[in-house]
């Protein structure tokens, strides 16, 4: 394991124009690369407004779609690991078409290492005004995603997935040392829960946690919270964006993870004689 890792989160303001979103992201990635980062993380639905109306219109087949090609090229050109936030993915099986909220994970050679399809769909009706039914358009992912890289072992889950500690622990049991959450929380649940959940998952599992949100766009129907964040395994916040567009860059010390796990070995202290968690 390298001992230091420089990473960036590109918090873009998503608009209803895929090409413009990609162009903006290209510039943000170039800005991060100039600072020598090795890993770049993009937000949930970074190329498509977070809205059931837009998901089918913006969705792409994988591999081969415009965004897939864009991400692969960016990773290769800049020799970086790229966690492509998420995009709406179309899958056609036996004439049946399904959509997923999918994160694409690319290596520095531009090859797709893995993808994560959002497992838990955001179906809520909050009295404060946020109503969303992802399951109106999207299908449920079925896989726990952990990718081994030369930098660090990365678990990827998407937004509402963050609320399920069992999933995060399963990722850690599969070797995750950093959990990446592309996530568009909103202006109700964001201030209430985003930071708390990111920190809780970090301290529960003694991992780095990175939350990558889109910037807030008040012209859109859904107002993302923003506040992309990088948290260390001691639940210390290393960096936080505001609600506007930003590229946040942070060097992290990976020895912190080893040190904390050695000094406070809670993962070893589990009572597997009394309870267990398993992937089915």
Does residue number 159 form part of the binding site for ligand LYUYDEPV (CB under 6 A)? yes
Residues 140, 106, 52, 178, CA torsion sign? positive
Report the nearest approach of ligand LYUYDEPV to the CB of residue 211 (Å).
11
Q: Is 124 exposed, middle or buried (0-12, 13-18, 19+ CB in 10 A)?
A: middle
Report the nearest approach of ligand LYUYDEPV to the CB of residue 185 (Å).
4
String of contacts with ligand LYUYDEPV for each residue 13-52, x by CB under 6 A: -------------------------------x--------
Does residue number 189 form part of the binding site for ligand LYUYDEPV (CB under 6 A)? yes
- Alpha-carbon gap, residue 237 to 234, rounded angstroms: 9
Q: Other C-beta atoms within 10 Å of 120: how many?
A: 17
Report the nearest approach of ligand LYUYDEPV to the CB of residue 117 (Å).
13
Choose, from 38, 44, 134, 195, the residue flagged as catalytic.
44
Given 18, 185, 195, 203, the residue binding ligand LYUYDEPV (CB under 6 A): 185
> Is residue 216 within 8 Å of residue 186, measured between CB atoms?
no
- Alpha-carbon gap, residue 24 to 158, rounded angstroms: 22
- Which range in 106-114, 178-186, 235-243, 254-262 contacts ligand LYUYDEPV by CB under 6 A? 178-186
Establish whether 219 is a catalytic residue. Answer: no
Q: Which is closer to ligand LYUYDEPV, CB of 51 or CB of 258?
A: 51
Does residue number 186 form part of the binding site for ligand LYUYDEPV (CB under 6 A)? yes
Does residue number 122 form part of the binding site for ligand LYUYDEPV (CB under 6 A)? yes
Strand segments (E) across the chain:
4-11, 39-41, 60-61, 81-83, 87-93, 96-106, 112-117, 123-125, 131-133, 145-148, 153-156, 178-182, 208-212, 229-231, 237-240, 246-253
Establish whether 48 is a catalytic residue. Answer: no
Report the nearest approach of ligand LYUYDEPV to the CB of residue 64 (Å).
25
Report the nearest approach of ligand LYUYDEPV to the CB of residue 200 (Å).
13
In the numeric block, the tokens 């969705």 are attached to 59
Establish whether 44 is a catalytic residue. Answer: yes
Does residue number 160 form part of the binding site for ligand LYUYDEPV (CB under 6 A)? yes
Does residue number 54 form part of the binding site for ligand LYUYDEPV (CB under 6 A)? no
Q: Which is closer to ligand LYUYDEPV, CB of 107 or CB of 182?
A: 182
Q: Other C-beta atoms within 10 Å of 59: how many?
A: 24
Helix then strand then coil, in percent of the chain rounded to 5, is 30, 30, 45
Positions that interact with ligand LYUYDEPV (CB under 6 A): 44, 122, 159-160, 163, 184-186, 189, 193
For the annotated catalytic residues, the residue numbers are 44, 118, 159
């Amino acid at each position: 394991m390298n001992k230091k890792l420089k990473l960036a989160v590109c918090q873009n303001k998503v608009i209803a124009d895929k090409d413009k979103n990609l162009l903006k992201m290209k510039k943000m990635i170039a800005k991060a690369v100039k600072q020598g980062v090795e890993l770049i993380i993009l937000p949930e639905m970074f190329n498509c407004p977070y809205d059931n109306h837009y998901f089918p219109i913006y969705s792409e087949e994988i591999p081969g779609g415009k965004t897939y090609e864009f991400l692969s090229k960016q990773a290769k050109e800049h020799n970086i690991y790229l966690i492509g936030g998420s995009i709406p993915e179309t899958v056609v099986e036996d004439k049946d078409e399904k959509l997923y909220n999918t994160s694409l994970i690319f290596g520095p050679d531009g090859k797709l290492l893995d993808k994560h399809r959002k497992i838990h769909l955001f179906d809520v009706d909050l009295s404060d005004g946020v109503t969303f039914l992802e399951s109106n358009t999207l299908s449920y992912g079925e896989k726990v995603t952990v990718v081994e890289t030369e930098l660090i072992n990365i678990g990827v889950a998407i937004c509402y997935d963050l609320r399920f500690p069992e999933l995060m622990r399963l990722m850690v049991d599969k070797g995750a040392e950093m959990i990446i959450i592309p996530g568009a929380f909103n202006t109700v649940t964001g201030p209430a829960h985003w930071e708390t959940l990111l920190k809780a998952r970090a301290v529960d599992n003694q991992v780095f946690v990175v939350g990558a949100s889109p910037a807030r766009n008040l012209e859109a129907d859904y107002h993302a919270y923003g506040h992309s964040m990088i948290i260390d395994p001691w639940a210390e916040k290393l960096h936080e964006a505001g609600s506007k567009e930003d590229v946040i860059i942070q060097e992290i010390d990976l020895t912190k993870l080893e040190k904390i796990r050695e000094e406070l070995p809670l993962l070893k202290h589990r009572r597997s004689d009394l309870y267990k968690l398993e992937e089915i």
